[in-house]
Structure 1
Amino acid sequence: METATERLTERRTTAVVIDDHPAVRAGVQLWLTTATPPVQVVDSSADVREAWVGPGAHADVVILDLQLDGPPTLREVRRLARTGRRVIVYTMHASDDLALRSLELGALCYLTKAEGEKHLVDAVRAAAQGRGYTPPTMAGALAADRRSTRPALSAREYEVLVSWFQSDSKERVARRLGISVSTVNSHLERVRMKYADIGREASTKAALVARAIQDELIDVDQL
């Protein structure tokens, strides 16, 4: 049976760009539309409502600046992620706290505007397939955040977790480890529950990657 990822690769990836600087919107659109293969920018606006209505409502990826006519806000990251939208936070703020919080709320990537064209294009391609992307700034934020509390994972939970980070599907993890997909899901759910129990929720794969890097369960180079 054809998967969503396979269907996506047969057509052009689409994105909506939400940023209150026209020059940034124009630059992002140029980078994406001239990439190989190109990414179609279906809408761009300073108003986050464009991610909810018209062509932007159906874009594969939402590229969202945190600062829209005011101080940085994470409210829209949460709202979009909760409805299943694939969000890349694209911001001028090189902030460890904002990066970590964005991932916890469901963003697939936190990318600073200083990181350039290649990282943005790669992040959009990964997000379109529901995968997280770890650019240098985010990797630094995660590596610098060493929490004193970490969950006590079993050897099998650790093995499943790392295998999932290194695979593009749970089915592949199951084949690799010789277990069922339902068993993979059970292990991952227990890992999430253990993080939630110590007040460090990780509801998305990107957030779990962040937690694992924080806790030195996996190195960025292994992703």
Structure 2
Amino acid sequence: MTESQTAVRVGMVDDHPSPVWGIDRILEPQADLDFVCAAATVTELLTTAADLDVVILDLRLNDGTTPRENVERLTQRGIGTVVYTSGEHPDLLRSAARAGTLGVVLKSASEDEILDAVRAAAAGEGVITTEWAAAVDGDPNLDAVDLSPQLQRVLTLYASGGTSTSVGRELGVAPDTVNEYLKRIRQKYADAGRPTHTKLDLFKRAVEDGWLPMPHRARGE
């Protein structure tokens, strides 16, 4: 790296310490990569250091956020993201892809693969791997469904256990209006070949599309 070049500022979001230690060890000897900080949540990371170039993002966090919203928040700040995962949740990878992440790196990847991914993301290039392509393209039944912000809110509140009455109270609308919204949501999913006959189906679709997080995992999983 020449004197005129500035090292890429890298952050990491992971709520387990071991992956952070591993990434720190891999990046530390690299003159062109500066591992600035790590945090357990995106909010904490942005509070600590908002001027990052690339963030290595754990796919599943315990703070109730979704990969989709985390990627969107970072992307809106002009920060490239690379999802760092064991790869067992292709539905979450798809939701991250829709939000604009640059790619995915498996936690089993070699040091060179991780370094190549970070450098590619810093240059605004996609991090294309077999796992990434399989996650994005592997399920033809997961056609994206476009929901307005209001319909997203209705879906997440209702699928999380709310009733038409409680959702209406939260949004300031009548229960009958909520029921009309739910009909529109169900129709959109039906048109995409992803029917939602039950409330559980609605919950599954909300998770698949990144509107709700995966069910809580136990620490150490």
Contact in 2 for aligned 1:102/1:110 (Cα 8 Å): no
The 1:34/1:145 distance shift into structure 2, 3 A limit, reads farther
| Residue 29 (structure 2) pairs with residue 15 (structure 1) | no
How far does residue 70 in structure 1 lie from its aligned partner after superposition? Answer: 5.1
User: What corresponds to 1:167 in structure 2?
Assistant: none
* Equivalence for 2:78: 84
Q: Taking every aligned residue pair, what percent have the same amino acid on both sides?
A: 32
Q: 1:16-165 alignment to 2 at 5 Å? A: 16-35=11-30, 37-54=31-48, 56-69=49-62, 73-74=66-67, 75-146=69-140
**CA-CA distance at 1:117 after TM superposition:** 2.0
Are the equivalent residues in 2 in contact too, given 1:51–1:62 (CA < 8 A)?
no
Q: In 1, are the aligned partners of 2:59 and 2:93 still within 8 Å (CA)?
A: no
Say whether the 8 Å CA contact 1:32–1:121 is kept in structure 2: yes
Of Structure 1 and Structure 2, the greater helix share is in 1
CA contact (8 A) 2:83 2:104 kept: yes
Return closer, same or farther for 1:142/1:66 CA change in 2, 3 Å cut-off. closer
**What is the match of residue 173 of structure 1?**
none
Aligned partner letter, 1:16:
G
TM-score between both structures, scaled by the size of structure 2: 0.56
Contact 1:66/1:90, CA 8 A, preserved across alignment: yes
Q: Structure 2, unaligned stretches of length 5 or more?
A: 144-190, 193-221
Conserved 8 A contact 1:88-1:123: yes
Q: CA deviation at 1:114?
A: 2.0
Q: Contact 2:53–2:78 at 8 Å: present in 1 too?
A: no
SS at match of 1:102: helix
What TM-score does the superposition give when structure 1 sets the normalisation length? 0.55
Shift in Å at residue 87 of structure 1?
1.0
Contact 1:82-1:106 at 8 Å conserved across structures: no
Report the Cα distance in structure 2 between the residues aligned to 1:108 and 1:95, rounded to whole angstroms: 17
Could you report, residue by residue, the CA deviation over 1:104-148 in whole angstroms, capped at 9, with x for unpaired residues?
Answer: 101111222122322221111011111111123113324534579
Unaligned runs of 5+ in 1: 1-6, 150-197, 200-223
- Note closer, same or farther for the CA distance 1:148–1:104 as it changes in structure 2 (3 Å cut): closer
Name the structure, 1 or 2, with higher relative contact order (CA <8 Å, separation 6+). 2
Q: Deviations over 1:51-104 (max 9, x none)?
A: 3123x3111101111222256722211221233221111123432222222111
Secondary structure of the corresponding residue to residue 72 of structure 2: helix
- Secondary structure at 2:108's aligned position in 1? helix
